Amino acid sequence: MERTVSNFSKGDKHNLLLPKNISIQSFIDNMPIGIYACDLSGHITYYNNAAEKLWRCTPKIGEEMWSGLPKLFLPDGTLLPLEKWPMTIAVQQGVYSQEEEVVIQQPDGTKLNVLEHPMPLFDSNGKLLCIINTLQDVTEQRKSETKQAMLAAIVESSDDAIVSKSLQGIITSWNFGAEKMFGYKEREMIGKPITTIIPEAHRTDELMILSKIRNNERVEHYETYRQTKAGTLIPVSLTISPIIDKKGNIIGASKIARNISKQKEVEKTLQHHAENLEIMNSMGKLVSQTLDIDVILQTVTDSTTRLTGATFGAFFYNMVNDKNEPYMLCKLSGAPKEAFENFGMLRNTAVFSSTFNNGAIVRSDDITRDERYSGNFPLNEMPEAHLPVVSYLAIPVVSKTGTIIGGLFFGHPQPGRFTKEHEGLVSAVALHAAIALDNAKLYAEVTRLSDKKDEFISLASHELKTPITSLRGFLQLIEESLDEADDNKKFMKIALTQVKKLSDLISDLLDVSKIKAGKLPLSFSHFDLIQLAKEVVIQFQFSVRSHVIQLESREEKIMVHGDKQRIEQVIINLLGNAVKYSPDATEVKVLVTGNETTASLSVQDFGIGIAPELQQHVFSRFFRVEDEASKPGLGIGLYISKEIVQRHNGRLWVSSVPSVGSIFGFEIPAK
Ligand code: ADP
């Protein structure tokens, strides 16, 4: 029906204006609020559709009394006795409560919160006719109020700061958590701009946050800083969500700020430990990989200076020179060497002597005020600008034998910079350093002795070379002068063979010295490797009767560019070993092959072979397989051969199976 004025009958203020064809009865029947009436004896005389819907039952008019339902409760759940029902009180006592909330229970057990408001109805003479009660369902409203109250309680009891603000950044709510975190009371902050708690340097945060909120985006776990009323900066993690009204408009933002100071502290501590660990690890690695005292000292100085956060660090290390005179090596970190130049009399000062002589750890928050050391401290003697040391830490470096071999010293211009933790860390490093330095010292000693040995071998072989050469010459003269029938000729030949062996040994030793000095001379020429191999085999077979040397080659000629004599030396050495280390065999094979780029020669024997784990060592200087100590030799033949082949840009290799035999071979570039 159209709602036009003509459809309604006119009335005064209290008259009901209804469309002409709608009766009051049907108007009340269909009202959205429950209405029912009881006569003065309490019998129900009327109820409308909404009341029926609330009760979910249809009480008999004139028969049932007080209400459509048998029970009423108070909102707290207690049963309300009949005499206290709003309708009963109104009928029996003529008292009409303003509005009372009760809980009704529908036949299926569903409970609803209902506002009852009984009102008396009088006739035109003022006589009471009946009581009309209205029933207003407020269940949903109560539910949402409870939810609101719960949310409010959660917000209030939260340790996080929960704040809401308008799209203009004006604070609209401020919980207890926010009061605790930022020090401002709710009344101080409502209506204030949120920038009150945003430090100057982080103001751009707010622009970014507001623009995201306007786009209906959430900002999650955004880490930044906020400022308290006292001016302290605290690290916070922010989660900000848009606040949307019922119509879907974004009207502001809710912000949860969590104080992450503790988390940051833990992160910082973790990071600090991780950094320390990394410094220790890389220091450990460097120090254990080197035997160079200088490198160890510098690495330890740099690492410990970083570990302690010192402005400078120094490692003083006691050394003894060749003349057995003590001197001190000093490595620095963080300060120029000139700054330490006045440190001449280190040990004579009280501060250094406690560490150097007594092995004491010295840690001072302010060494300039320390009674024990002030006046003595060498730094006092220096111009202030050089090393303004206030915090001071000294850790002795003690070797395994208990000798104090040095000390680590650290300084910082501010007081109280070194802690017990630094003491522990540096002490641990000092322990490690002492071991590494002891090893390096030992290594230096071994190297020095080894150099002396090399020097001796070189000198001795030089000294032996001349007399042996002249001895050999004279023996040859005598041997040639003797008649074939003369028995002495035979002895002289044996003597000559032995002298040759001696001479070869001395030559080998001389070669070793030359290789060590990088002075093994080579003289290059072009020659045919097959031809050379043939000559060597024939010559070798002369002196060796125990084995047959078989030479094989598919090529006619393999030209190489090299030192013919030295390559011959290599082949003889390989043949000599093949015979020496295959006492039970009768055969040795020599194979010469070649192509455009490479010429190869291998010598195969059927002897004792070499265990796989020892094969890589046979080319080392003076190495001999222990079991073979009974066989003559010095362990230098393969070492010299390898050097010769390598000087030809070639490769000497071995392939061997114990008890089956070995193949030694070399490859050198073909011409
Ligand atoms: P030397 O033979 O004088 O000891 P080398 O440098 O020629 O020195 O050889 C080093 C070591 O390699 C030998 O002591 C031996 O133990 C092992 N070796 C070399 N050649 C052979 C081989 N053909 N068979 C088994 N072992 C060998």
Q: Is the CB of 635 under 6 A from ligand 1?
A: yes
Between 396 and 344, residue with greater pLDDT: 396
CA 659 to ligand 1 centroid distance, Å: 14
pLDDT band at 378 (very low <50, low <70, confident <90, very high): very low
Pocket test for ligand 1, best of 574, 577, 645 (most atoms within 8 A of CB): 577
Instruction: Quote the pLDDT of residue 496.
Output: 94
Q: Is the CB of 55 under 6 A from ligand 1?
A: no
Instruction: Quote the pLDDT of residue 434.
Output: 93
Q: Has residue 10 got a pLDDT over 80? A: no
Instruction: Quote the pLDDT of residue 340.
Output: 60
pLDDT band at 14 (very low <50, low <70, confident <90, very high): low
Instruction: Quote the pLDDT of residue 374.
Output: 52
Q: Has residue 7 got a pLDDT over 90? A: no
Q: Is the CB of 633 under 6 A from ligand 1?
A: yes
Instruction: Quote the pLDDT of residue 379.
Output: 46
C-alpha distances (whole Å) from 579 to each of 50, 574, 608 are 122, 9, 11
**CB atoms < 10 A from the CB of 652, how many?**
21
What is the per-residue pLDDT across 425-449, written as a single tens digit (0 to 9) for each?
999 999 989 999 999 989 988 998 9
Find, among 602, 500, 606, the residue nearest to 552 by Cα. 602
Q: Which atom of ligand 1 is least distant from the CA of 639?
A: 6
C-alpha distances (whole Å) from 71 to each of 34, 80, 379 are 17, 8, 96
Q: Do 212 and 192 meet the contact criterion of CB atoms below 8 Å apart?
A: no
Please give the Cα distance from 466 to 471 (Å, whole number): 9
Please give the Cα distance from 18 to 30 (Å, whole number): 13
- Per-chain mean pLDDT for the chain: 89
Q: Which atom of ligand 1 is least distant from the CA of 635?
A: 8
Q: Do 364 and 392 meet the contact criterion of CB atoms below 8 Å apart?
A: yes
pLDDT band at 179 (very low <50, low <70, confident <90, very high): very high
What is the per-residue pLDDT across 329-339, written as a single tens digit (0 to 9) for each?
888 898 766 66
Q: Which atom of ligand 1 is least distant from the CA of 633?
A: 3
Residue 92 φ then ψ, to 5°: -80, -35
Mean pLDDT of 642-652: 96
Instruction: Quote the pLDDT of residue 667.
Output: 97
CA trace torsion 184, 185, 186, 187 (10° rounding): -110
Please give the Cα distance from 4 to 27 (Å, whole number): 17
Q: Has residue 6 got a pLDDT over 60? A: no
**Sequence letter at residue 475:** L
Q: Has residue 387 got a pLDDT over 70? A: no
Q: Has residue 580 got a pLDDT over 60? A: yes
Strand order in the sheet with 171-174: 171-174, 161-166, 250-259, 233-244, 219-227
CA 534 to ligand 1 centroid distance, Å: 23
Three-state secondary structure readout of 165-233:
EECCCEEEEECHHHHHHHCCCHHHHCCCEHHHHCCHHHHHHHHHHHHHHHCCCCEEEEEEEEECCCCCE
Please give the Cα distance from 207 to 221 (Å, whole number): 17
Please give the Cα distance from 175 to 157 (Å, whole number): 8
Q: Is the CB of 637 under 6 A from ligand 1?
A: yes
Classify 530 as helix, strand or coil: helix
Q: Is the CB of 343 under 6 A from ligand 1?
A: no
Instruction: Quote the pLDDT of residue 267.
Output: 92
Mean pLDDT of 591-600: 94
The CA angle 140-146-152, to the nearest 5 degrees, is 135
DSSP 64: S
Pocket test for ligand 1, best of 605, 638, 659 (most atoms within 8 A of CB): 638
What is the per-residue pLDDT across 516-554, written as a single tens digit (0 to 9) for each?
888 899 999 999 999 999 999 999 999 899 999 999 999
CA 641 to ligand 1 centroid distance, Å: 12
Place of tokens 């709602």: 3
Q: Do 408 and 301 meet the contact criterion of CB atoms below 8 Å apart?
A: yes
Q: By alpha-carbon position, which residue is closest to atom 8 of ligand 1?
A: 635
Provide the whole-model pTM: 0.56
Please give the Cα distance from 18 to 164 (Å, whole number): 48
Q: By alpha-carbon position, which residue is closest to atom 7 of ligand 1?
A: 637
Mean pLDDT of 71-76: 95
What is the per-residue pLDDT across 35-60, written as a single tens digit (0 to 9) for each?
999 999 999 999 999 999 999 999 99
Q: Which positions ≥6 away from 382 have C-beta within 8 Å? A: 339, 342
C-alpha distances (whole Å) from 143 to each of 80, 112, 641 are 21, 10, 99
Q: By alpha-carbon position, which residue is closest to atom 14 of ligand 1?
A: 624
Q: Is the CB of 621 under 6 A from ligand 1?
A: no
Q: Is the CB of 576 under 6 A from ligand 1?
A: no
Tokens describing residue 133: 């009660």
Mean pLDDT of 638-643: 96
Between 123 and 354, residue with greater pLDDT: 123
pLDDT band at 373 (very low <50, low <70, confident <90, very high): low
Instruction: Quote the pLDDT of residue 320.
Output: 80
Instruction: Quote the pLDDT of residue 583.
Output: 94
Tokens describing residue 37: 């009436």
Mean pLDDT of 451-476: 91
Q: Is the CB of 611 under 6 A from ligand 1?
A: no
Pocket test for ligand 1, best of 571, 588, 624 (most atoms within 8 A of CB): 624
pLDDT band at 346 (very low <50, low <70, confident <90, very high): very low
- Strands 312-320 and 404-412 turn out to be antiparallel
Mean pLDDT of 55-81: 95
Instruction: Quote the pLDDT of residue 394.
Output: 93
Query: Which contiguous run of DSSP H or E holds residue 242?
Result: strand 233-244
Q: Is the CB of 291 under 6 A from ligand 1?
A: no
Q: Which atom of ligand 1 is least distant from the CA of 624?
A: 14
Mean pLDDT of 455-480: 92
**Least confident interval from 113-122, 453-462, 584-593:** 453-462
Instruction: Quote the pLDDT of residue 593.
Output: 96
Q: Is the CB of 624 under 6 A from ligand 1?
A: yes
Please give the Cα distance from 604 to 575 (Å, whole number): 9
Write down the H helix ranges in 597-660.
612-615, 637-647
Three-state secondary structure readout of 431-490:
HHHHHHHHHHHHHHHHHHHHHHHHHHHHHHHHHHHHHHHHHHHHHHHHHHHCCCCCHHHH
Q: Which atom of ligand 1 is least distant from the CA of 603?
A: 23
Between 104 and 207, residue with greater pLDDT: 104
**Sequence letter at residue 651:** R
C-alpha distances (whole Å) from 240 to each of 178, 249, 666 are 15, 16, 77
Mean pLDDT of 217-228: 93
**Least confident interval from 58-72, 92-106, 341-355:** 341-355
Q: Do 588 and 576 meet the contact criterion of CB atoms below 8 Å apart?
A: no
C-alpha distances (whole Å) from 463 to each of 310, 438, 470, 502, 633 are 58, 37, 12, 13, 21
Q: Which atom of ligand 1 is least distant from the CA of 634?
A: 3
Residue 245 φ then ψ, to 5°: -80, 180
Q: Is the CB of 628 under 6 A from ligand 1?
A: yes
**Sequence letter at residue 69:** L
Q: With b meaning 16 or more CB within 10 Å and e meaning fewer, what string describes 86-125? A: bbbbbbeeeeeeeebebbbbeeeeeebbbbbbbeeeeeee
